[in-house]
Amino acid sequence: MFYPMFRYGGHHVSYLLSFIGKTIKINRGGPESIVGKLIAVHADYIVLLTKDGVVYVNTHHIKSITEGKTNQSIGRTIGRTGYIVAHSFHDVLRRLTKHFVQINQGGPEKVTGFIVEVGPDTLLLVSGKEVIRIPLFHIRTVSLARRDGSDDKSKDDSQRSQGQRSGGRDSGSGSGSQASRGRQASRGQQGSKGRHGSRGAGAGAAPATSDNAAVTISAPL
């Protein structure tokens, strides 16, 4: 369902319907500039298919629309390409209750979390340990988000843990090898000293025998 005479910038822009299926750019630059294929036009929001998935854009925050060739390419999209058909942007938000979403595309007001409740004027979002209440008018875009951050963190922690265990094994192996070399060196030194000592003792015994023989010869008859 669509509304061909919805308002954009104070003017009727039913011509947007002719862009359905084409790639357009919403806003000229900044964090809220979006490039995507226009797939639906509704009363107060439009639906874009971007390289990151489906994005619902509040038309009250559209400052410009660029048609034709853009600097970005959509390429292959991620996830499902189905979208919510609703009577209003407020209804889209309400249907995304209990889903993990991204509010706004960029800048300091970008936030991800679970939509807990959508009231007449505000939205309640749980982001990590924070509970955030956002005025609906200040929500420029909304899209389903993927929770990859926690998975990446657990992978990093696992890799660090494996690296530490591997390092511990290598360290233990190195210590054992050093200890073994130390014992071998100690045994070699002791054996060498023993052999030198034995040779020294044998050399000292020979002169003693010679002295005894000399005494025997010089004794009076």
- Topology at the third CATH level for domain 7-147: SH3 type barrels. (2.30.30)
Q: What is the pLDDT of residue 115?
A: 98
Asked if 139 contacts 58 with a C-beta cutoff of 8 angstroms, the reply is: yes
Stated pTM of the model:
0.61
Q: How confident is residue 182, by pLDDT bands cut at 50, 70 and 90? A: low
* Other beta carbons less than 10 A from residue 94's beta carbon: 16
Compute φ and ψ for 173, nearest 5 degrees: -65, -40
116 burial via Cβ count (<10 Å: 0-12, 13-18, 19+): middle
Of residues 78, 75, 62, 77, the one with CA closest to residue 25: 62
Q: Where are the domains of the chain?
A: 7-147, 149-184
Instruction: Calculate Rg over the CA atoms of the chain.
Output: 42
Most confident of 13-17, 76-80, 168-172, 175-179: 13-17
Mean pLDDT of 186-190: 58
Dihedral sign of CA atoms 82, 83, 86, 91 in order: positive
Mean pLDDT of 64-73: 70
Q: What is the pLDDT of residue 164?
A: 57
DSSP H helical segments within 17-133, as ranges? 89-95
Q: What is the pLDDT of residue 162?
A: 55
Q: What is the pLDDT of residue 106?
A: 87
| pLDDT of 171 over the 70 cut | no
Most confident of 6-15, 71-80, 127-136, 186-195: 127-136
Mean pLDDT of 54-68: 89
How far is 29 from 47, CA to CA, in rounded Å?
19
| pLDDT of 160 over the 80 cut | no
pLDDT digits (tens, 9 = 90+) for 86-130: 999 999 999 999 999 999 998 899 999 999 999 999 999 999 999
Rounded to an integer, what is the distance from CA 114 to the centroid of its chain?
20
Strand spans (E) along the chain = 7-8, 11-12, 23-26, 34-41, 45-50, 53-58, 65-66, 100-103, 111-118, 122-127, 130-135, 141-144
